[in-house]
Structure formats: structure tokens, C-alpha cells
Amino acid sequence: MKQTLYTLLSIFLLISCQQEDILSEQEKKGYLQLTNLSLVSPTIESVQTRAVDTDLYIEILSETEPIKSYEPGQFPQEKIELEAGEYTLKAYNDAYKNKTANTPQYYMETTFTIQAEKVTYPTISVPMVNVGISLATLSDELQGLFNDVELSFYTTNEQTVTVLQPGETVYMDYAEYMTFTYTLTATNADNETFTTEKKTYGNVEGEKVEPGHCYVINYSLASPTQLKTTVNP
């Protein structure tokens, strides 16, 4: 009889220990719910928010070791179970991954903490990391006065000149202390072709070329036969 009681007691204790181990392991897990992922618009510097952007790759890393990775559009809507601890989340688009030229590149990384039996809801805004330069479209008034409008500009190398038509935008990698130098060429109603004075943006106080910005060159009348330019922002 005693032998039977000892056996039953041992089984009971074993089951209790196993349940405690399982409970202990469960308590070390938490959850990630990514419901607020957005792209920062470079043109008007506003934020476009959507639940999960289908153009973005998502990576979750622990101490630089990949834990989970998702192709564009595959990030789950439901909670993701993770061990409690510190993580890094990276989000980027295909242009950033493949270093595609003349295309907006988006990238960000941030750290977050998973606490046991809790859900973490990070808010993530993914900025553009390169620079855009654009020539504004001609207004109806200016279209009647000028044609063959072109913007010519270069950044660090004067021999590498980019030419834009009205409404066109080009994207390039950002570099520290970056500037761009530009001129505008157009033909007026008298069939006279002129070129504006060369200007450089980013070389004086209050002007700075920054990643995530699209710099739009606007123009207005300097005289009935001439145009002048400004940069926005």
C-alpha cells in the first residue's frame, strides 16, 4: 500500500514540475503587433499611414542574428510570438535592397523590447534616405510665354550634368555636405533662348541638402521675356 502511495505521489510531483516548466517557458514569451507602419512622403513632407505597406521588406533581429524576415506584403496581420528580450526591426523597400538608381529608397531600423505576456505595438515611419531634385511644371500663363524649358544641374562633379524637363524628378544618393548647382534654359515668345545665372543650393547658412527631401525648382517671371528660379523647400 505504501509502495502504491509513494508511486502516485511521485507521479503527481513529476506532473506538477512539468506544468511549472511549461508555464515558466510560456511566461518568457511576448508578442509583437505591427499595426502602424508608414512611409514618410519626401515631396510634401507628410506621413502616409497604412496598416502594413506592401512594398516593404521586414526583418526582425536579435543581437544582429535574423529571427524572422518577411517579403513585401507577407508581414502577418496577427500577433507575432517572440521570446522576451531586445530586438531590432528593419524595414526597407526593393529599391534600397537592390540599390536601384534614380528611385526613392526607403529604410529604417529601430529597437524594441518584448516583455513576457505583453503585446508591443511599435509605431514605425520609414523615411526616404536619398535625395530628389525636381523641376516644377509650367503654369498655363508661363506655357504661353516660354517653351523648351530645361533644368541642368550637377552635384559634386561638374562634368556629370543631369537635365530635367518640367515635371520630371531624379533621385540620387545622399552625401554629407551635399550641394547642387543649377541653371534654367528656356526660349521666350520672341524666340530668344536664355539661360539663368548659375545658382548653388546648400552652400549658405539656412540652406541644407538633407536625405528624405525632394527639392523642387520653381520659376516665375523676372520680366516679360525672362524667368527666375527658387528652390522649395
Dist CA 211 CA 194 (whole Å): 32
pLDDT of 199 higher than 90:
yes
Each residue of 39-78: pLDDT tens digit? 776 643 323 333 344 589 999 999 777 889 999 988 888 8
Residue ranges per structural domain of the chain:
30-126, 131-232
pTM value is 0.78
Instruction: Produce one character per residue of 111-148: b if its CB has 16 or more CB atoms within 10 Å, e if not.
Output: ebebeeeeebebebbbbbbbbbbbbbebeeebeebbee
d(CA 186, CA 220): 12
pLDDT digits (tens, 9 = 90+) for 127-140: 999 999 999 999 99
Q: Could you write out the three-class secondary structure of the chain?
A: CHHHHHHHHHHHHHHHHHHHHHHHHHHCEEEECCCEEEEECCCCCCEEEECCCCCEEEEEEECCEEEEEECCCCCCCCCEEEECEEEEEEEEEHHHHCCCCCCCCEEEEEEEEECCCCEECCEEEECECCEEEEECCCCHHHHCCEEEEEEEEECCCCCCCEEECCCCEEEECCCCCCCEEEEEEEEECCCCEEECCCEEECCCCCCCCCCCCEEEEEEEEEECCEEEEEEEC
* Lowest mean pLDDT segment, chosen from 89-98, 173-182, 221-230: 221-230
d(CA 181, CA 191): 26
Q: Which fold has domain 30-126?
A: Immunoglobulin-like (2.60.40)
Answer yes or no: same fold for 30-126 and 131-232: yes
CATH architecture of the domain formed by 131-232: Sandwich (2.60)
Give the largest Cα separation in the chain, rounded. Answer: 118
Cα separation, 149 vs 165, in Å, equals 7
* pLDDT confidence band for 101 (50 / 70 / 90): very high
pLDDT of residue 41: 65
